Amino acid sequence: MTEAFIAQLTEHDLTEVAVHHTLRQVLGYGDALYITVESPGSYLEHRSMANLLERFDEDGDEEKYHEISGRFLGIARALNIRLNIEPYLNVIRNVSETGYRDFVISRGSYLTALMVTKKLEHLGFTLVDSATFIKMDARGVIDRDATKLAWQQLRVTGKLVIPSTYGSNPDKSIHICNSRTVITALAELLASSGMYERVVIV
């Protein structure tokens, strides 16, 4: 039986102390592996990354920005990767000035997924931005037909890392959503692709 596995990395799996161990656990599921990545959760005295990003978008406080950048750098160190994240952090700072809330919050999931991909790229993993295929309608509800078409056009299979906290609106702006929305849509796409006999969410 050909199986595809969707491995969920939740906010609790993605703290500085947990992320390396978590990745070692999920890699045993084989080549048809799709890793979904949330934003890092609270750790020690730090709030969750999504909360930090939302608050930074509201007030642009430099202390919060340094806490955000420090946490991302800590996760990069925990993964033992070389990745210049400064340009991505600058985007967060610059975009927050425009009040684009959903984009700023989504960078927690996106940048963490980018770091996870960097860690696993030697195993053939690539990053697929969920905004490229998770399509929302004007009401903020997932558009299954548009999502299926976008996924088919991507023509990607297995060994993917996917941020799981957002999709895109009809105007291509970012739309924050529950990670369950992304994971359920991904499972439906894989199940209907004809490539796998079973899709397992782990």
pLDDT in tens, 137-195: 999 899 999 999 999 999 887 799 999 999 999 999 999 998 899 999 999 999 998 88
How many Å from the N-terminal Cα to the C-terminal Cα in the chain? 17
pTM of the model: 0.90
pLDDT at 98 over 70: no
The pLDDT value given to residue 156: 86
pLDDT at residue 133, as a whole number: 95
189 to each of 167, 180, 183, 195, how far by Cα in Å?
Answer: 15, 14, 10, 10
| C-alpha distances out from residue 182 to 132, 170, 202, Å | 12, 16, 14
Tokens in use for 185? Answer: 């849509």
- pLDDT tier at 129, thresholds 50, 70, 90: very high
Q: What is the pLDDT of residue 182?
A: 94
Give the model confidence (pLDDT) of 49-83 as tens digits: 888 898 888 877 888 888 888 889 988 888 888 88
Type of residue at 26: V
The pLDDT assigned to 96 comes to: 60
What's the CA gap between 41 and 48, in Å, rounded?
Answer: 4
Distance between CA 185 and CA 57 in Å, rounded?
Answer: 28
Query: What is the Cβ-side half-sphere exposure of residue 81, based on CA atoms within 13 angstroms?
Result: 23
Q: Please check whether the domain covering 3-201 is classified as CATH 3.40.1160.10.
A: yes
User: Which residue spans within 25-142 are E strands per DSSP?
Assistant: 33-37, 126-127
Task: Give the three-class secondary structure for 13.
Answer: coil
pLDDT for the residue numbered 197? 86
> Would the pLDDT of 45 be above 70?
no
- What is the phi/psi pair of residue 159, to 5°? 50, 55
**Span 30-45, average pLDDT:** 82
Task: Give the mean pLDDT of 120-136.
Answer: 94
Residues ≥6 apart with Cβ < 8 Å to 200: 3, 4, 5, 6
- For the chain, give the mean pLDDT: 87
How far apart, in whole angstroms, are the C-alpha atoms of residue 161 and residue 128? Answer: 6
Please give the pLDDT value at position 57: 83
Domain ranges within the chain, ordered by starting residue: 3-201
Q: Is pLDDT above 60 for 97?
A: no
